[in-house]
Structure 1
Amino acid sequence: MQKMDKVQIWGIPSNLPTDKAAVFRSRLLLAYNDIRPLLSEPLPIISIGDIRQKQQPEASPSGEKKSISDPSDIRYLPQEPLYSFKQLILPEETLNAIRNAIELLKVEKTVFDDWGLRTIEPNPRVALNFYGPPGTGKTLAAHAIADYLHKTILIASYAEIESKYHGDGPKNVKAIFAAAEKQDAILFIDEADSLLSKRLLNVTQGSEQAINSMRSQLLICLEQFHGTVIFATNLIENYDKAFETRIQHIAFKMPDIFCREKIWQAHLLPQLPLAPELSCTDLAQAVEDVCGRDIKNAVIRTAVQAAIRHTLITQQDLINTIKNIKAARISVIGNNGNLSQEDKNLLLEKAKQALMHSSATTKEDTHGR
């Protein structure tokens, strides 16, 4: 059997800021992925960590040393969290719900081992679903939890899990959970609406069967998983009842005036050329129904314009920019939500045709394999 090469990089300084370390790690992984098609089988194992995480390979009972990674880990490597709990600006109710959920990990030994509850729950876990409008801090919160627990975070999305080949979707779900547990990482699955939705009835096509298989595999993985998994979704109405009892749902709402003021303060850094009269309190009051992402984008766009014009960033500039961002967002939602019945029927027909085409393509790909 051909020997598999191992590439291990343990050189990221422990005092490097987490965002810089994450960028460095990401670039190394991208470089590796670029050369993978040129490599012969078996592919080398790559493992990237910082100096403080370096560990010696474990010895097996037979005396042989185990490698830190295995081939199944190559696609799913965790990263250092980009944000901390200090950067998390949410209503106190939401923050308390998050803290209470993750405190389980701190008392696990007492509750499940000393008090014997592991006999009725062999795999205690924290399974959370952050749901709410885009830009309200769901991804930031997942990173903050990983930082709070001093763990890395493994990020995946539904698009990465889904496969055009029948049978690969459930395998991907299983591989992601296995990689997160093995590497003691927080698992964050973004855009998870389709994964948590109700399983389809009266299945007639292979693509529908594949979706049901992924959802069934997810249920199995949740039951067997020992760790923390966080889903991020936009809606909660159409979830499968089987998930309702296994996941704690935490709502992420649009920030109120107090949170908006804190978000403005966090983004208007002292290095920016700010006009003296600028007030975060007034900015929070001036425009309602905007999320943290809207505010971040408003600050960036206004700063770019100020740099081009060689002027200060004024309060009115920021207000005008965020009003435009809000108007564009509402316009998109309105255009999608106020369709005539004729337009709805046309879109439905196009969706059906696309689904049929996708199913046909999948069958061809499957036979071609």
Structure 2
Amino acid sequence: MELSIKGLPDTVPEIIAQNCRELFKTAVGDLLVLGQLQEVNITISTSKFEEKSIFTPPILEEKVASKDKENSKPVPNKPSPSKNRITDEITLEERATQYKARPPLYSFDFLSLPEELKETLLSSIDSIRLDHKIFYEWNLRAIEPNPRTALNFFGPPGTGKTLAAHALAQYLGVPILTASYGQIESKYHGEGPKNVEALFFAAQRDKAVLFIDEADSLLSKRLTEVTQASEQAINAIRGQLMISLELYQGVVIFATNLIKSYDQAFETRVRYIHFPMPDEKSRREIWMKHLPKELPLGQDVSIEELARIEDVCGRDIKNAVIDAAIRTARHNRVFVGQQDLINAVERIKAARVSAIESE
């Protein structure tokens, strides 16, 4: 028996095409079981290519596998039962299984940011919460079929970009799906764009905030003079990212450092929010939130004095507290003193300077 689908438009997004194929497979499986047929030849074609596969119902596959176990002697040249799928290539759903959403780790109460930045974040959240009213009740979907919120948190490392992404997801009451550029790129040609598509598919599947960390390479200008395969690969990934953003319905947050040149196409699709190094007021709040009441502090510890230490970010403060606590415990001292914390901060700042100079 043979079945075919012809003329599937090339312009149909892969997510929609994949859903069509899955529905087709389910219907064919029911047909084979009810008709007591052993297999069917399937052809799916577009104007550019044609895919063929032999489809075997799951019930028959189980019988064949059971019968194979009973026969101890192998049968020469016996064909193995075909898999229950259209092609041997990994499907979008299968590729998306590598990406899973998780509950957010931080709330807005834990954020210590300048007031203006807090207001900007809250404004972004309000626009997300009003999506249903604006796009569905007021039918602005007529002019924007795929409503989405795309944000780029940019600024120096350790300034709260990741915390803010988690806090935003927690405020919205949804999970967060986190990925980095390193989890998207691939040494195999053509895999990077497919990973981008699968990542957005997974976020839509899990109804999650999508957070893409270390996204500098993704949002930079596309290369006009491509001379190497690696350059071609990054251009292909950026192109797929553009397509996925257009089709995505949800919240996506990028985190970048101070990259020099954003791609103009992203500038019109993404809202940019700057995360500066914390001021003294923010540093005071960060120190207070990173010194839990269970931590034995000496009476000489002064948060006011610690907050006056400049050129430190939230991550530096967190690491300084942990470093000071470890050294105190290792030397069997009773309290973490002021000088322990100051020394820890200075070590972290010195290490950062050394790393920059070595570059």
Task: Tell me, yes or no, if the aligned pair for 1:302 and 1:317 is still in contact at 8 Å.
Answer: yes
1:300 correspondence with 2:322: yes
Task: Tell me, yes or no, if the aligned pair for 2:97 and 2:202 is still in contact at 8 Å.
Answer: no
SS in 2 for 1:207: helix
Task: Tell me, yes or no, if the aligned pair for 2:280 and 2:307 is still in contact at 8 Å.
Answer: yes
1:71 correspondence with 2:86: no
SS in 1 for 2:312: coil
Task: Tell me, yes or no, if the aligned pair for 1:2 and 1:42 is still in contact at 8 Å.
Answer: no
Q: What TM-score comes out, normalization by structure 2 length?
A: 0.73
Q: What TM-score comes out, normalization by structure 1 length?
A: 0.71
Matches within 5 A, 1:204-353: 204-285=227-308, 287-311=309-333, 312-336=335-359
Partners of 1:310 and 1:270 in 2: how far apart?
19
Task: Tell me, yes or no, if the aligned pair for 1:72 and 1:179 is still in contact at 8 Å.
Answer: no
Partners of 1:204 and 1:134 in 2: how far apart?
31
1:112 correspondence with 2:132: no
The count of corresponding residues between Structure 1 and Structure 2 is: 274
1:160 correspondence with 2:160: no
Relative distance call for 1:202 and 1:315 in structure 2 (3 A) is same
Greater shift after overlay, 308-317 or 224-233? Answer: 308-317
Task: Tell me, yes or no, if the aligned pair for 1:166 and 1:210 is still in contact at 8 Å.
Answer: yes
Task: Tell me, yes or no, if the aligned pair for 2:222 and 2:263 is still in contact at 8 Å.
Answer: yes
Relative distance call for 1:162 and 1:93 in structure 2 (3 A) is same
Q: CA deviation at 1:70?
A: 5.0
Partners of 1:42 and 1:269 in 2: how far apart?
55
Q: Which among 161, 172, 183 is matched to residue 138 of structure 1? A: 161
User: What do the CA deviations read for 1:131-176 (whole angstroms, capped 9, x no partner)?
Assistant: 1111111111111111111111111110110011111111000010
SS in 1 for 2:105: coil
Relative distance call for 1:235 and 1:74 in structure 2 (3 A) is same
User: What do the CA deviations read for 1:277-314 (whole angstroms, capped 9, x no partner)?
Assistant: 212111101x1110111111110111111112222111
Letter in 2 for 1:256: D
Q: CA deviation at 1:101?
A: 1.2
SS in 2 for 1:187: strand
Task: Tell me, yes or no, if the aligned pair for 1:177 and 1:225 is still in contact at 8 Å.
Answer: yes
Letter in 2 for 1:220: I
* 2:150 equivalent in structure 1: 127
User: What do the CA deviations read for 1:194-239 (whole angstroms, capped 9, x no partner)?
Assistant: 0111111121222211111110110011111100001111124211
Partners of 1:209 and 1:271 in 2: how far apart?
53
Letter in 1 for 2:275: F
Task: Tell me, yes or no, if the aligned pair for 2:117 and 2:275 is still in contact at 8 Å.
Answer: yes
Partners of 1:3 and 1:192 in 2: how far apart?
42
User: What do the CA deviations read for 1:100-120 (whole angstroms, capped 9, x no partner)?
Assistant: 112122111221122221111
Matches within 5 A, 1:41-80: 71-80=94-103
